[in-house]
């Protein structure tokens, strides 16, 4: 089950300000390496140890004024279907508008948790003014100021009360793979090609507590659950916001999976949306690999693959230790390689390095290249252990952990990758007091 919080509301009420506060990100991050402007409208957030994804629906409204009302209505419908909790944001300085009323009408019909968030309550005196929002008939009003952050703690306490303490353990312990990517890159073609014609495959239709379809794959010595997003496209809704909808589905599949197979169209390369998904997978500590599909449509010489690969690695930097595979689903080129690699990534994600081996290798690395002394003080690493967890985490016990700087951590990470193969897997490294 994915924990998705959607912020809905008309323009200018403060949705993106709240989004930034909850995710501590700036709206657009210009990446020095790639020159790509990352417009992040969805991002992982955490409150009292519970993780969830926040979506700023306003980020998906493009175009002129007359299209946005329609777009907002569409988003509210999608949020009602797909989100776990909905924050309906209104502006205390303007009071109720017609569009607010329309949104409230839609939200009154859902049984999903909806919180009315009165924003811009910057001073206590505005608390009284927000009482008018009780007229929506949507229950309690949460007064907040997105700019100062006041009131957001109480709101978040209420929001995360809907999320389970820990993700429930799965009844089956099979690797879960999700093929994600923009529309038309070839996700469903790949799914179909993998499953083949003979359906010795059991389809596990989504029940009430699960929200994606999982297909049990067991062929050629590989067994896993494929989380299907492509098959879940809603057929009967016209005019809906495809981009917003597909992002919602992608986030759910991503949260539900162990390994994310990010598929690109070779003709488009890697775009900012893809980088966002990649970043979200990394932040969620998922295994990741990249598949460049429709490779048959590209004119190639002996350098094409290398060049393509290095362009992608530049853009996903600094986490570049991920498999990149070039496929043609229609020509059946390297599609089983995708499965093999994904299973390798899963193995890397779940492997445990024996403590003695870890210490033998890494203590020597550190001896040969110790952390720089600071103010005449030397940092001594005593021993290293891999911590229990769903993805690789290592604790380096030493005398002065506070003196370890980011570049040294990166150096250690690279050495761990070099010696133990964690391709496709984010690693966490902690220096701790001993
Ligand atoms: P969105 O269109 O709903 O995403 O709204 P924005 O987050 O872009 O905010 C619209 C305007 O309201 C901006 O000028 C913000 O600085 C301002 N704003 C947002 N939150 C607050 C708040 O808590 N108090 C005040 N006074 N202004 C706010
Ligand atoms: P999805 O939206 O990501 O699920 O994409 P589809 O699987 O529906 O594929 C979109 C289109 O791309 C279809 O017309 C496919 O036949 C085509 N397609 C998929 N894979 C390839 C490929 O490797 N090469 C070429 N040339 N076309 C492909």
Give the CATH number of the domain where residue 150 resides. Answer: 3.40.50.300
Query: Which ligand approaches the C-alpha of residue 126 most closely?
Result: 1
14 lines ligand 1 (CB under 6 A): yes
Query: Does residue 422 register a pLDDT over 60?
Result: yes
The stretch 208-225 carries a mean pLDDT of 72
| Residue 152 belongs to some domain of the structure | yes
Query: Does residue 405 register a pLDDT over 50?
Result: yes
Q: What percent of the chain has pLDDT over 90?
A: 60
15 lines ligand 1 (CB under 6 A): yes
Same domain? 155 vs 214: no
Distance, CA of 356 to CA of 348 (rounded, Å): 18
| Residue 90 belongs to some domain of the structure | yes
Ligand 2 atom showing the smallest separation from residue 190 Cα = 7
Separation of CA 414 and ligand 2 centre (Å): 36
Of residues 164, 153, 166, the one with CA closest to residue 21: 153
Average of per-residue pLDDT values in the chain:
85
Confidence at residue 37, expressed as pLDDT on a 0 to 100 scale: 39
User: For the CA atoms of 197, 201, 206, 209, what is the dihedral angle to 10 degrees?
Assistant: -160
Distances (CA, A) of 142 to 72, 85, 145, 403: 22, 14, 10, 42
- 242 or 149: which leads in pLDDT: 149
Residue 120 assigned as binding residue: yes
Separation of CA 17 and ligand 1 centre (Å): 6
Distance, CA of 141 to CA of 132 (rounded, Å): 10
Same domain? 12 vs 127: yes
Residue 211 — pLDDT band, cuts 50, 70, 90?
A: very low
Same domain? 13 vs 154: yes
229 lines ligand 1 (CB under 6 A): no
Which of 146, 148, 150, 155 is the best mutation target for the ligand 1 pocket, counting ligand atoms within 8 Å of the beta carbon and taking the most? 146
Query: Does residue 237 register a pLDDT over 70?
Result: no
Query: Does residue 291 register a pLDDT over 60?
Result: yes
Ligand 1 atom showing the smallest separation from residue 56 Cα = 4
Same domain? 213 vs 307: yes
- CB-CB contact of 349 with 258 (8 Å): yes
350 lines ligand 1 (CB under 6 A): no
Same domain? 10 vs 149: yes
Q: Please count the structural domains in the chain.
A: 3
Picking from 296, 319, 350, the residue at the C-terminal end of a domain is: 350
Ligand 2 atom showing the smallest separation from residue 328 Cα = 23
Same domain? 279 vs 361: no
Same domain? 337 vs 193: yes
Query: Does residue 36 register a pLDDT over 50?
Result: no
| Residue 171 belongs to some domain of the structure | no
| Residue 169 belongs to some domain of the structure | no
Q: What is the CATH number of the domain that holds 373?
A: 3.30.300.20
- 67 or 291: which leads in pLDDT: 291
Confidence at residue 179, expressed as pLDDT on a 0 to 100 scale: 93
146 lines ligand 1 (CB under 6 A): yes
Q: Looking at mean pLDDT, say which of 248-257, 358-367, 375-384 comes out highest.
A: 358-367
Same domain? 25 vs 147: yes
Same domain? 254 vs 115: no
The stretch 245-256 carries a mean pLDDT of 85
| Residue 168 belongs to some domain of the structure | no
94 lines ligand 1 (CB under 6 A): no
Q: Which residues contact 34 (CB under 8 A, 6 or more apart)?
A: 275, 314, 315, 317
Same domain? 116 vs 262: no
Query: Which ligand approaches the C-alpha of residue 58 most closely?
Result: 1
Picking from 332, 350, 368, the residue at the C-terminal end of a domain is: 350
79 lines ligand 2 (CB under 6 A): no
13 lines ligand 1 (CB under 6 A): yes
Confidence at residue 434, expressed as pLDDT on a 0 to 100 scale: 81
Give 255-285 as a DSSP string: HH-SEEEEEEETTT---HHHHHHHHHHHHTT
Confidence at residue 34, expressed as pLDDT on a 0 to 100 scale: 38
Same domain? 13 vs 144: yes
120 lines ligand 1 (CB under 6 A): yes
Separation of CA 406 and ligand 1 centre (Å): 34
Which ipTM value was assigned to this complex? Answer: 0.74
Query: Which ligand approaches the C-alpha of residue 151 most closely?
Result: 1
Local structure of residue 235 (DSSP, 8 states): S
| Residue 166 belongs to some domain of the structure | no
Query: Does residue 248 register a pLDDT over 70?
Result: yes
| Residue 411 belongs to some domain of the structure | yes
Which range among 38-47, 74-83, 407-416 shows the weakest confidence by mean pLDDT? Answer: 38-47
Burial of 433 (0-12, 13-18, 19+ CB in 10 A): exposed
Give me the domain span that covers residue 404.
355-433
Ligand 2 atom showing the smallest separation from residue 192 Cα = 7
Query: Does residue 353 register a pLDDT over 60?
Result: yes
Ligand 1 atom showing the smallest separation from residue 59 Cα = 4
Separation of CA 118 and ligand 1 centre (Å): 12
Picking from 290, 317, 350, the residue at the C-terminal end of a domain is: 350
Ligand 1 atom showing the smallest separation from residue 93 Cα = 26
Query: Does residue 163 register a pLDDT over 60?
Result: yes
Same domain? 14 vs 130: yes
Residue 12 assigned as binding residue: yes
Query: Does residue 111 register a pLDDT over 80?
Result: yes
Cα-based angle 126, 128, 132 (whole degrees, multiple of 5): 105
């Amino acid at each position: 089950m994915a924990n998705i919080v959607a912020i809905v509301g008309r323009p200018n009420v403060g949705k993106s300000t709240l989004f930034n506060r909850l995710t501590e990100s700036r709206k657009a991050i210009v990446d020095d390496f790639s020159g790509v402007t990352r417009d992040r409208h969805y991002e992982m957030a955490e409150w009292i140890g519970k993780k969830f994804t926040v979506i700023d629906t306003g980020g998906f409204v493009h175009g002129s004024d007359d299209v946005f009302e329609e777009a907002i209505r569409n988003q509210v419908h999608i949020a009602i279907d797909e989100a776990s909790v909905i924050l309906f944001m209104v502006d205390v300085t303007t009071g109720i508008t017609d569009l607010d009323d329309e949104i409230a009408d839609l939200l009154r019909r859902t049984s999903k948790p909806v919180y009315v968030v009165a924003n811009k309550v910057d001073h206590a005196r505005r608390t009284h003014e927000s009482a008018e929002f009780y007229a929506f008939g949507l229950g309690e009003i949460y007064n907040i100021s997105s700019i100062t952050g006041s009131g957001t703690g109480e709101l978040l306490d209420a929001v995360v009360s809907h999320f389970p303490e820990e993700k429930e353990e799965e009844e089956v312990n099979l690797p879960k793979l999700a093929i994600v990517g923009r529309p038309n890159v070839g996700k469903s073609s790949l799914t179909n090609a993998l499953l083949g014609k003979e359906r010795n495959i059991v389809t596990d239709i989504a029940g009430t507590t699960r929200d994606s379809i999982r297909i049990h794959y067991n062929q050629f010595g590989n067994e896993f659950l494929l989380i299907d997003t492509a098959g879940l496209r809603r057929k009967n809704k016209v005019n809906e916001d495809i981009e917003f909808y597909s992002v919602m589905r992608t986030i759910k599949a991503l949260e539900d999976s162990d390994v994310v197979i990010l598929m690109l169209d070779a003709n488009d390369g890697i775009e900012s949306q893809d980088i966002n998904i990649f970043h979200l997978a990394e932040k969620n500590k998922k295994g990741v690999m990249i598949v460049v599909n429709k490779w048959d449509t590209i004119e190639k010489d002996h350098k094409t693959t290398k060049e393509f690969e290095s362009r992608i690695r530049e853009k996903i930097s600094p986490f570049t230790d991920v498999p990149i595979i070039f496929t043609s689903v229609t020509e059946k080129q390297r599609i089983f390689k995708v499965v093999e690699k994904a299973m390798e990534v899963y193995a890397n994600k779940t492997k445990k390095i024996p403590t003695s081996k870890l210490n033998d290798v890494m203590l020597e690395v550190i001896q040969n290249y110790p952390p720089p002394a600071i103010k005449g003080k030397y940092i001594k690493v005593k021993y290293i252990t891999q911590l229990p967890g769903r993805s690789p985490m290592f604790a380096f016990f030493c005398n002065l952990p506070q003196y370890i700087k980011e570049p040294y951590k990166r150096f250690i990470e690279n050495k761990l990758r070099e010696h133990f193969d964690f391709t496709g897997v984010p690693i966490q490294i902690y220096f701790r007091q001993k």
